[in-house]
Structure 1
Amino acid sequence: MFFCKFDYTDLFCLFRTNRNSFVEWGTHLSLEEYLSRESLLASLPFTSEKFTVWVLVPRSTPETTTNIFSACETFVRPALVISSSLQKQTCYSIASVFTPAEHRKNGYASYMMELLGKKLKENFQEVGFSFLYSDVGPVFYSRHGWKVFEHKEIQFNIENENLNNITSDTTNVTQLSYTDIEELTKYDSSLIEKENEFSSTIYKVVVLPTFECFEWAFERSKFYAKIKGLKEPNIWGAKVTNKEDKIIGFAFWTYSFTDKILQILRIRSSDTNTTKLLIQQAKLYASYYNFKKVTVWNPNLKIFAETAIIEGGELVDRAKSLPSLAWYNNNKGSDEDKVKWILNENYAWC
């Protein structure tokens, strides 16, 4: 078997791997729509020049694009590794691990992940870690080096909730468009670098939230709205300011039209009252599409302690999209059990 990679410009290979994976991730779409979605997402800045397709193929025909045993994708993303100092590094986000039905139960996916882990670790001086979100439980990827991290979420069920008392016209609350979020993302990243204390006993890793990753999620939502003949969303979050017009909290979200869930991708809040205002705005915009839930992944419970109860939230363990991380600094004498994933929120998923 031969393991090789293609960048996003190799459209034929991308077309073939997407065509293969349609049976798994093409839910609610025709094949043409699915390929169109993947082509759109591949053209965005989040993907352009940062995206690689990896394929396991027969050694006898390494150039083949028709006989792919297993495949996956990686995205290069900015990250921080914080210990006794702060290091700006990159990390790999792994997605779309797929083996065609006719090649399953032969160990191809296991072999591919083993080879991928070795390839990614070769660049450990520049790349501190890689991560993925498992939909096949905690065992498979853990066996190959990706340790499962916390996977809780708060679910706000709004299906039967009366939201008539919530309004978007609130003095200190502003709804956010694309442009607003681009500026806030830069502000957020600058704060993240300043907030985390140094430690010689633990490694804290952060996948930095960038506008490109939010744009990718927004365009995905807009695609589904168009397919369903719905009005495309134009509000992607909300911010809260105090009397001095200083930002004290914000939330960015996306719309899952297939699951009828508004997913909060990133939330920053100074207190529980600010959190309450942000959750109310998320509920309001979820209700415009008759969604059933608002979700927040791995929330900071300090800013949710009272709000979750007041707003009817329930803290649960997720059964899917389990965040899993492989740490590549082991040969520097660090222990992967001392790695803490900071801001393990929904924006990192792809």
Structure 2
Amino acid sequence: MDGNLDRDVVSPLPEVDETDIEASLRPKHLSEFVGQPKVREQLQVVLESALRRNRPPDHVLLSGPPGLGKTSLAMIIAAELGAPFRLTSGPAIERAGDLAALLTSLTEGEVLFIDEIHRIARPAEELLYMAMEDFRVDIIVGKGPGATAIPLELAPFTLVGATTRAGLLTGPLRDRFGFTAHMDFYDTDELEHVLTRSAQLLGVSVTGDGAAEIASRSRGTPRIANRLLRRVRDFAEVRADGVVTSQVAHDALAVYDVDELGLDRLDKAVLDALVRRFGGGPVGVSTLAVAVGEEIETVEEVAEPFLVRAGLLARTPRGRVATPAAWHHLGLTPPSSPSAGPGSGTGGFAGPTLFDS
């Protein structure tokens, strides 16, 4: 099977052809949104208060890994307020003029959603400060000593920003959001609810144990769960009776090379190289990427985050290290006193040291 297909199945990033499908599965109201109970409760209070005051709510910042529902929540905010919704992304705003044109076209109460807001151009970000605080922007006309700033009043609006890299947001921008919410990965029960709802919308017959089997391999991410559901549905229609049971899901995901932990071909290749070729590490990510035949960015952004979260890989000052759980997952016995581990020299594995490097 094509490696790219394998990797896309459990990637939290959206695929090009998924836009229409995801739109049909998105919840339309806060009561329909599954998971994130604390965020939902806090957001409900913020929105209800704004409606009672007949004023736009504070600007909202949603942070967390991709695929957890940040865009869906932004759309729900607009729906709950009964306001128009405008969507753009940080990389699309390259100049301050692009943002000024967008802001001046907003109607009163409109919800502006900027995805990946940490990637907005710095001149545009500085223009956004004043827009968020005072609902006005200064347009610079001319150049040099003769340049003139023309203030333009904006209709009151609500900005909803989403980011997968909250640490890259500048302090001034982050401080201008009145409500900040961090979205966590879903547990298996929550993903089962997501899958049951999606199956009803897609017209897929799925049993409880079938939904549980898919949920357990979905890496805590609704986007991945819905993608796996569609792949399992295809398998059930072609090689079974169309009903997604636990066995059908198990067989289908074996075809797509997704194991019981949600690891795919790339994840297992990284672990296999780390353990079998490099004795468990430590090894640099560039060397690891060459060993598995992938780009460094692919290993760092696609495979590593889940392997670290699953407790199978550790980032240490000396390089990437396989944990004992990784050895066991590959059916191997870890060294009793791994010299590569963070606890080397102390007679045992001291546990992973996590940091970005």
- With the length of structure 1 as denominator, give the TM-score of the two structures: 0.29
Task: Give the structure with the larger helix fraction.
Answer: 2
Structure with the bigger RCO (C-alpha within 8 Å, sep 6+) is 1
Task: Give the structure with the larger strand fraction.
Answer: 1
User: Radius of gyration: which is bigger?
Assistant: 2
